[in-house]
């Protein structure tokens, strides 16, 4: 088949333009190969910091070498999609208030893949990843120039902060790579480390997930340990504290512009006690209806009711009164 792109036209700017046209806020390109952070990730798991997230140990070879998702994989088109860091804090982490980002981003990356094949006039082997496989996507994003590893372990972009999702389209094309982001712009700041109410950071850029509010309210299957319940505060699902205090988010976080990430009716405008009571009382059918396509379904109705009970105990709010939302 004949290429639809003239030989004199560079492909990489066209790819980025199409990605921005699909709604992504950040786009970068990097080559694939051995991953620098895989050894640290292996050590992190060995130290027990992954808790019950046994799935993180799977696919170790793909973590160590990003060329392994499929034969011939050579480049990654890495994207970021903002989810509205200017939205007010609340009992549900900002990323989980609307529709599931996995589906939204995967659909758009698949669109980008289809466009790429159409423009080239030939099949292009490719696979989209959005937090759905063993690839170290955060390192791919750093290599593609999208940001640096913050002390809170999030990727931080100097113009956007860290309230964005990362996704990658792995392709069997030799694409010109962007320069990696090599600076560490956190400096001596440790606001994220000091703000964590459960002391989940072992040190800068090392998170003990078993103490993290997000892990306790989402990934943990059993009861939240008694010593850690008070630290959960009024967080029912996830936590944004270490992002909220980051100076780059304070200055550069954006208003929500993606309608799919807007808070759904079951959540919108509700303080922690009200939402907690709703989640304890909700039945299976109403839960399926109200939280269709929601990331919150990961914790299941049982887990959300557990979290809600802990929140009400922490707030000790009598019926009819209000308490501050999570912040």
Inter-residue contact 233 to 197 (CB < 8 Å): yes
Examine the residue annotation and report whether 131 is marked as an active-site residue of this protein: yes
Q: Per the residue annotation, which of 42, 99, 100, 131 is the catalytic one?
A: 131
Number of C-beta neighbours around residue 263 at 10 A: 19
Q: In whole angstroms, how far apart are CA 213 and each of 60, 91, 98, 233, 247? A: 26, 11, 20, 9, 21
Contacts 24+ apart (CB under 8 A), 121-124: 121/1, 121/2, 121/3, 121/4, 122/1, 122/3, 124/171, 124/172, 124/173
**Residue 100 token pair:** 């599931």
Gap between the Cα atoms of 50 and 280, Å rounded? 28
Q: Is 27 exposed, middle or buried (0-12, 13-18, 19+ CB in 10 A)?
A: buried
Residues recognised as catalytic: 131
């Amino acid at each position: 088949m004949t290429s639809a792109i003239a030989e004199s036209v560079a492909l990489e700017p066209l790819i980025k333009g199409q990605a921005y046209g699909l709604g992504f806020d950040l786009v970068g390109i990097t080559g694939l190969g051995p991953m620098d952070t895989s050894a640290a990730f292996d050590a992190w798991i060995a130290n027990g910091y992954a808790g019950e997230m046994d799935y993180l140990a799977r696919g170790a070879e793909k973590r160590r070498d990003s060329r392994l998702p499929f034969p011939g994989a050579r480049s990654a088109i890495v994207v970021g999609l903002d989810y509205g860091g200017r939205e007010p804090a609340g009992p549900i982490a900002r990323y989980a208030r609307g529709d599931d980002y996995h589906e939204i981003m995967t659909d758009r990356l698949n669109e980008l893949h289809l466009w790429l094949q159409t423009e080239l006039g030939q099949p292009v082997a490719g696979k989209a990843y959005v937090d759905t496989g063993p690839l170290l996507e955060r390192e791919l994003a750093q290599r593609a120039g999208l940001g640096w590893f913050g002390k809170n372990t999030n990727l931080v972009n100097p113009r956007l902060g860290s309230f964005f999702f990362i996704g990658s389209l792995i392709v069997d094309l030799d694409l010109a790579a962007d320069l990696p982001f090599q600076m560490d712009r956190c400096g001596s700041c440790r606001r994220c480390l000091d703000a964590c109410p459960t002391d989940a950071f072992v040190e800068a850029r090392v998170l003990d997930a078993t103490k993290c509010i997000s892990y306790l309210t989402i990934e943990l299957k059993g009861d939240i340990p008694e010593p850690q319940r008070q630290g959960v505060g009024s967080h029912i699902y996830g936590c944004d504290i270490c992002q909220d205090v980051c100076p780059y988010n304070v200055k550069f976080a954006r208003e929500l512009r993606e309608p799919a990430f807007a808070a759904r009716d079951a959540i919108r405008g509700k303080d922690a006690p009200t939402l907690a009571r709703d989640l304890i009382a909700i039945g299976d059918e109403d839960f399926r209806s109200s939280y269709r396509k929601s990331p919150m379904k990961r914790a299941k109705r049982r887990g959300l009711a557990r979290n809600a009970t802990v929140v009400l105990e922490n707030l000790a709010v009598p019926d009819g009164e209000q308490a501050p939302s999570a912040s």
